């Protein structure tokens, strides 16, 4: 556990204040628009997948899981490429980052063609069984969007390598880039769902995003010209700046990896169930997903912003305390989704804010602590978090929802967070007073969720416990406006 003294030392050593303020603004803008485009693509991919393969929960879970899979693969590969090929080719890492953005922009025009080919193939073969249809549609989704997602995941370690090049002492570059990226992602989600698709259709929205990617690539190439490749700093400086955390029960790498994986798993699995549960309030799966994703990202940005402020002030909240409040926050959506609250839209969406805010604080904090500014370390830590995000939607869509329903599924997903906090308390890492502050409200909310909270009418009528039905006409036709635009 990092106390305020150690945090202050790391803040002094790893402050990004040594980077010119103009470069900080440029980097923030690049990652803002990078996040904007990434979530624009995700929202449009969900809409297009629904239109081509059916408005069903498994389609949503596959898109989310493949998106996260690509980010994880890209994080690992990007870290290795940044470490090896930048030095080997003697080029600035900004060139590699720009190349990744360029590939994303080109790939944007390929995804719709592959989705269309998948739909035509399924209709031509007459595949109607639920299992066969979902497997084949999942394969087409993977082939279509995975390459672009890999490039998106590679952007973090590639740009971190550039930051390391111009400021070798920087140890918190991930959280800085993460904050700008989340803000862009939040804006991209809201603007895409509410404005761009409605005005310009799928194709017009893709053109806007692709042009943004091309502009990001061009700006990165210009940045690379102004800050060309330089040899790494002396070994002594690297060892001092990028030394791993001291060995210990919670300072070892196993603990942050476990927390990152678990929080990624629970967050994305809950997102799928929230989308299903909140559809009754928001009336449609498409806008339910967009609204939840926007609130999720907004809350994550606030949490990340708070973390950056704590980092600069030299005072950080420990991982164990954040896990404690997550135990409480994870139960709030279950309680507030009770139909006796009249399904108020604002109240329903606000129920996920505390949980997402705590995650926004915890994730960049753990990755900064884990990586110490090293691109490869950040790529590995981020990929562990993403690995949980890959598994979560699949478990939620294919296991929890069909077998035990929404409320019980959310209760099951709360269990891993409780286990992490219990492990911390059993190792005397949390004071007895802090345990009571967490355990008492958690038990109260848990008992309320099990014995008092009621099931929504939609869940009681369609709990998904029945066998899957055959899907004979999966396509949801786009509007005439979208047909003209595409």
pLDDT tens by residue, 218-228:
999 998 888 88
Of 189, 151, 160, nearest to 70 by C-alpha is 151
Residue range 177-189: mean pLDDT, rounded? 88
Q: Would the pTM of this model clear 0.75, i.e. be above it?
A: no
Query: Does residue 474 belong to any structural domain of this protein?
Result: no
What's the distance, CA 321 to chain centroid?
22
CA angle 170, 74, 49 (to 5 degrees): 130
Q: Is residue 39 part of a domain?
A: yes
CA–CA dist 64, 43 (Å, integer): 10
Domain count, the chain: 1
Q: Using the 8-state DSSP alphabet, how is residue 341 labeled?
A: G
> Does residue 481 belong to any structural domain of this protein?
no
Residue 318: CATH number of its domain? 1.20.1250.20
The H-or-E segment that residue 226 falls in is: helix 197-226
Q: How confident is the model at residue 471 (pLDDT cuts 50, 70, 90)?
A: very low
At 424-437, the pLDDT tens digits run 777 655 555 566 67
Structural domain for 275, as ranges? 4-231+247-465
| Residue-level pLDDT at 147 | 93
Return the C-alpha torsion angle 339, 301, 441, 427, nearest 10: 140
Using the predicted structure, report yes or no on whether residue 463 has a pLDDT greater than 70: no
- Position 270 scores a pLDDT of 92
Query: How high is the pLDDT of residue 287?
Result: 67
pLDDT band of 157, cuts 50, 70, 90: confident
Angle formed at CA 416 by CA 411 and CA 417, multiple of 5 degrees: 90
Is pLDDT of 468 > 70? no
The answer to whether residue 476 sits within a structural domain is no
- Of these ranges, 106-110, 186-190, 204-208, 214-218, the one predicted with the greatest mean pLDDT is 214-218
Residue 237 inside a domain? The answer is no
> What pLDDT is recorded for position 340?
64
The answer to the question of residue 472 being in a domain is no
| Separation between Cα atoms, residue 486 and residue 480, nearest integer Å | 10
Tell whether 215 is covered by a domain. yes
Residue 239 lies in a domain: no
């Amino acid at each position: 556990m990092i106390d305020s003294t150690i945090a202050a030392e790391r803040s002094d050593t790893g402050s990004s204040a040594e980077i010119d303020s103009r470069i900080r603004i440029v980097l923030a803008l690049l990652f803002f628009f990078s996040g904007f485009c990434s979530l624009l693509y995700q929202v449009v991919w969900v809409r297009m997948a629904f239109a081509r393969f059916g408005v069903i929960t498994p389609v949503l879970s596959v898109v989310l899981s493949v998106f996260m899979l690509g980010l994880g693969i890209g994080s690992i590969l990007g870290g290795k490429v940044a470490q090896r090929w930048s030095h080997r080719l003697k080029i600035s890492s900004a060139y590699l980052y720009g190349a990744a953005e360029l590939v994303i922009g080109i790939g944007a025009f390929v995804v719709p063609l592959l989705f269309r080919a998948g739909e035509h193939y399924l209709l031509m073969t007459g595949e109607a069984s639920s299992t066969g249809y979902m497997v084949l549609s999942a394969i087409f989704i993977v082939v279509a969007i995975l390459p672009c997602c890999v490039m998106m995941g590679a952007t973090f370690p590639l740009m971190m390598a550039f930051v390391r090049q111009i400021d070798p002492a920087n140890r918190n570059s991930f959280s800085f880039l993460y904050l700008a990226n989340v803000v862009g992602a939040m804006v991209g989600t809201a603007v895409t769902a509410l404005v761009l698709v409605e005005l310009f259709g799928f194709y017009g929205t893709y053109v806007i995003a692709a042009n943004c990617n091309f502009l990001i690539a061009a700006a990165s190439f210009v940045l690379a010209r102004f800050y060309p490749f330089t040899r790494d700093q002396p070994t002594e400086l690297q060892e001092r700046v990028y030394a791993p955390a001291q060995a210990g029960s919670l300072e070892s790498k196993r603990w942050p990896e476990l927390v990152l994986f678990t929080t990624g798993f629970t967050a994305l699995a809950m997102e799928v169930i929230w989308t299903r549960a909140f559809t009754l309030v928001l009336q449609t799966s498409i806008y339910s997903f967009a609204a939840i994703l926007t609130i999720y990202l907004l809350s994550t940005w606030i949490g990340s912003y708070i973390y950056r402020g704590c980092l600069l002030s030299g005072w950080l909240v420990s991982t164990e305390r954040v896990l404690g409040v997550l135990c409480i926050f994870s139960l709030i959506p279950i309680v507030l989704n009770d139909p006796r609250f009249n399904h108020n839209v604002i109240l329903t969406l606000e129920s996920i804010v505390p949980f997402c805010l705590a995650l926004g604080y915890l994730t960049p904090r753990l990755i900064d602590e884990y990586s110490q500014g090293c691109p490869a370390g950040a790529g590995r830590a981020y990929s562990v978090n993403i690995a949980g995000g890959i598994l979560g939607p699949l478990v939620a869509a294919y296991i929890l929802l069909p077998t035990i329903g929404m409320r019980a599924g959310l209760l099951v997903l709360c269990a891993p967070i409780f286990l992490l906090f219990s492990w911390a308390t059993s190792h005397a890492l949390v004071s007895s007073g802090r345990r009571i502050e967490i355990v008492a409200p958690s038990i109260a909310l848990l008992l309320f969720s099990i014995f008092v909270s009621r099931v929504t009418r939609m869940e009681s009528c369609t709990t998904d416990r029945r066998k899957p039905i055959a899907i004979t006409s999966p396509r949801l036709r786009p509007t005439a406006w979208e047909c003209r635009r595409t």
